[in-house]
Amino acid sequence: MKQIFTRRAGMIGMMCLLTIFLTSCLKNNNNQHYYPVPQVALVSAINASPDAQPVDFFLDQNRGNNFSIKSGESLDYINAYTGKRNITFFVGGSSQKIATDTATFRAGKLYSVFLANLVSTPDVLVIADSVGAPATGKSGIRFVNLSTDNQAVDLVIKGGATLASSKTYKQYSSFATVAGGSTYTFEVHKAGTATVLYTLTDVPIRNSTLNTIWIQGQAAATDTKKLSAHKQENVFYY
CATH number at residue 63: 2.60.40.1120
The answer to whether the CB of 176 falls within 8 A of the CB of 164 is yes
Least confident of 23-37, 146-160, 192-206: 23-37
Collect all residues with Cβ–Cβ distance below 8 Å to 83 and sequence separation of at least 6.
Answer: 104, 105
Is the domain of 62 the same as that of 117? Answer: yes
pLDDT of residue 14: 35
Please report the pLDDT score of residue 32 as a whole number.
55
Spatial separation of the C-alpha atoms in residues 215 and 153, rounded to whole Å? 10
Question: Residue range 182-200: average pLDDT?
Answer: 98
Task: Note down the domain range covering 17.
Answer: 1-129
Residue type, 22: L
Cβ atoms 211, 181 nearer than 8 A: no
Q: Cα(228)–Cα(36) distance, rounded to whole angstroms?
A: 33
Per-residue pLDDT tens over the stretch 76-99? 999 999 999 999 999 999 999 999
Last residue of a domain, one of 129, 153, 186: 129
Judge if 23 and 107 occupy the same domain: yes
Mean pLDDT of the chain: 88
Residue 145's domain is classified under what CATH number?
A: 2.60.40
Residue that is last in its domain, among 70, 104, 129: 129
Overall number of domains in the chain? 2
Final residue belonging to a domain, choices 65, 97, 129: 129
Let me know whether 113 and 151 are in one domain. Answer: no
Query: What is the per-residue pLDDT for 107?
Result: 95
Say yes or no: 125 and 204 in one domain. Answer: no
Phi, psi of 217 (to 5 degrees): 90, -165
User: How many Å is the maximal CA-CA distance in the chain?
Assistant: 50
Q: How confident is the model at residue 150 (pLDDT cuts 50, 70, 90)?
A: confident
Mean pLDDT of 103-129: 97
The whole-number average pLDDT for the span 228-238 is 95
3-state secondary structure string across the chain: CEEEECCCCCCCCCEEECCCCCCEEECCCCCCEEECCCCCEEEEEEEECCCCCCEEEEECCEECCCCCECCCEEEEEEEECCEEEEEEEEECCCCCEEEEEEEEECCCCEEEEEEECCCCCCEEEEEEECCCCCCCCEEEEEEEEEECCCCCEEEEECCCCEEEEEECCCCECCCEEEECCEEEEEEEEECCCCCEEEEEEEEEECCCEEEEEEEEEECCCCCCCECEEEEEEEEECC
Mark whether 44 and 159 lie in a shared domain.
Answer: no
Is there a single domain that holds both residue 105 and residue 58?
A: yes
* Cα 43 to Cα 69: distance, rounded to the nearest angstrom: 14
Instruction: Decide which of 205 and 24 is more confident.
Output: 205
Q: Are residues 93 and 172 in the same domain?
A: no
Question: Are residues 110 and 142 both part of a single domain?
Answer: no
Q: What is the pLDDT of residues 20-59, one digit of tens each?
A: 344 455 656 555 555 545 689 999 999 999 999 999 999 9
Q: Identify the band that residue 15 occupies on the pLDDT scale cut at 50, 70 and 90.
A: very low
